[in-house]
Structure 1
Amino acid sequence: MTEILQPYSVSEFNKIPDLHEGTTAFHAKDGMKFVNEVFGPLVLKHGLEAQLGITILHRHFDLKDPEKLVEFNNISLPWKNQDKDDSHSGGKILPNAWLLNNGKLMPYEFFFSPFNQEKSVDLTQDKVRAFLGEFVQAAKYSSLDGIVALKMFPGPGFRGGLEFSEGRANIVLKPGQYKLENSQAAEVTWYFERGWREQKDYCHCTKYFKDHFHTVEQCYPGEEAGRPASLK
């Protein structure tokens, strides 16, 4: 049975590879083949396309104890001084990304839910546990254990955006608020929600100097999806 590592560990977070290391390792293991032929079909098989996607594991910057990287209103910042149950300002800090290392899961990125109205993925559900068992085996078989991770699907209405790092903050711009050539970006996250698969929504990353951007760009049927650039 797949376990959730507790407690969350800042030191483990800081071991996550940076963007260049993560994407290089992913493509060296032919990661896209496994996303398309193994991981995506597994998500669909267990009916989790509206809950989970696959991402290349990488970090934006280091954190300090007891910080967590928490997203709220399209901005992710290091938050600290959480209560033991992750209560904060009348709401909850909940996981939205899980890394896989040596067959075990650990949450590594989070979001803030005011009044605890928005929920995270319940990893104790039978269908989720069944998926996790197969996902762990597939990641080990593909040698992508520690290279790919699970990302919570943002939910209805999500149409992507451009995420850029400014200092120790990650800021997401909505479609229409940015321009980016496809050749500047590398795909890092894939969702499989029914009705979206044909639209080819991708999350991309690129790197400028010490900062990097994430993007999700929507490509409708008949349009050509941009290919990831090599990162040096």
Structure 2
Amino acid sequence: MIAILAPYSHDHFQSLATIKDAHTRFVVTDGDSHVEWFKDFFIKHDMDRRFGLAMIHRHFDLESTEKLVEYMGTSAPWSGGSSGMKEPQPAIWAFDDEGLLRPTEFHYSGTQDIEFTDKDFEFIATFKDQLALRGLTNIFGLARYPGDDFDGSCEFT
């Protein structure tokens, strides 16, 4: 079964655990051991330069018209740009209660990301199955691969 990609949902974003609660879930489920397993899983499926593993969380509440958008290392609520601005692109995805994969965070860039392929959707379906099998559906999701020149980041709220 192929995972279904769905649009952004403010309600889904608001349902995500806070960063503190997400961290607690990560510790209780021995998250580090899962990260290592998923690293090998991404490499095995040749997706380590397409996706990354994300700990799903909500930084803060957003208004119903807002999305969380990162630009040049800073994330902020975004409720629409000016005329001629490109739309932010999904950067983090999480499965909702119906099993649909929805973007939860976005990034703004002048270049367009590559659309999902059939291979991506097959991987997403397998990833979804593995999350369910391990009881991690509400803990982990997918992140877009930021490129080989990415130095890493540290989030804080």
Query: Could you tell me the TM-score, scaled by structure 2's length?
Result: 0.88
5+ residue gaps, structure 1, are 166-232
Question: Do the aligned partners of 2:88 and 2:108 also contact (CA within 8 Å) in 1?
Answer: yes
SS of the equivalent of 2:95 reads: strand
Which amino acid in 2 is paired with 1:19?
I
Residue 29 of structure 1, CA deviation: 2.1
Q: Which has the higher contact order (CA 8 A, sep 6+)?
A: 2
Residue 28 of structure 1, CA deviation: 1.8
Taking a change above 3 Å as real, the CA distance of residues 145 and 162 of structure 1, as seen in their structure-2 partners, is closer
The C-alpha deviation readout for 1:77-119, integer Å capped at 9, x for no partner, is 111136xxxx9643231101001234321101001122xx241
Aligned alpha-carbon RMSD (Å):
1.9
Q: Distance in 1 between matches of 2:29 and 2:131?
A: 11
Structure with the higher fraction of residues in helix conformation: 2
Residue 26 of structure 1, CA deviation: 2.1
Q: Distance in 2 between matches of 1:22 and 1:28?
A: 10
SS of the equivalent of 2:64 reads: coil
2:93 matches 1:98: yes
Q: Distance in 1 between matches of 2:45 and 2:119?
A: 6
Pairing 1:1-232 to 2, within 5 Å after superposition:
1-6=2-7, 8-37=8-37, 39-81=38-80, 89-102=84-97, 103-114=99-110, 117-119=111-113, 122-123=115-116, 125-165=117-157
Residue 136 of structure 1, CA deviation: 0.7
The C-alpha deviation readout for 1:175-205, integer Å capped at 9, x for no partner, is xxxxxxxxxxxxxxxxxxxxxxxxxxxxxxx
Q: Which residue of structure 2 aligns with residue 225 of structure 1? A: none
Q: Which residue of structure 2 aligns with residue 227 of structure 1? A: none
Q: Distance in 2 between matches of 1:24 and 1:140?
A: 19
| Residue-pair matches, total | 155
Q: Distance in 1 between matches of 2:27 and 2:100?
A: 22
Question: Do the aligned partners of 2:12 and 2:96 also contact (CA within 8 Å) in 1?
Answer: no
Q: Distance in 1 between matches of 2:156 and 2:145?
A: 19
Once superposed, which parts of structure 1, at least 4 consecutive aligned residues long, lie more than 4 Å away? none
Q: Distance in 2 between matches of 1:163 and 1:149?
A: 16
Taking a change above 3 Å as real, the CA distance of residues 55 and 74 of structure 1, as seen in their structure-2 partners, is same
SS of the equivalent of 2:93 reads: strand
SS of the equivalent of 1:14 reads: helix
Which amino acid in 1 is paired with 2:115?
D
Query: Percent identity between the aligned chains?
Result: 31
Structure with the higher fraction of residues in strand conformation: 1
> Which stretch has the larger CA shift, 43-52 or 62-71?
43-52
5+ residue gaps, structure 2, are none
Residue 139 of structure 1, CA deviation: 0.3
Q: Which has the larger radius of gyration?
A: 1
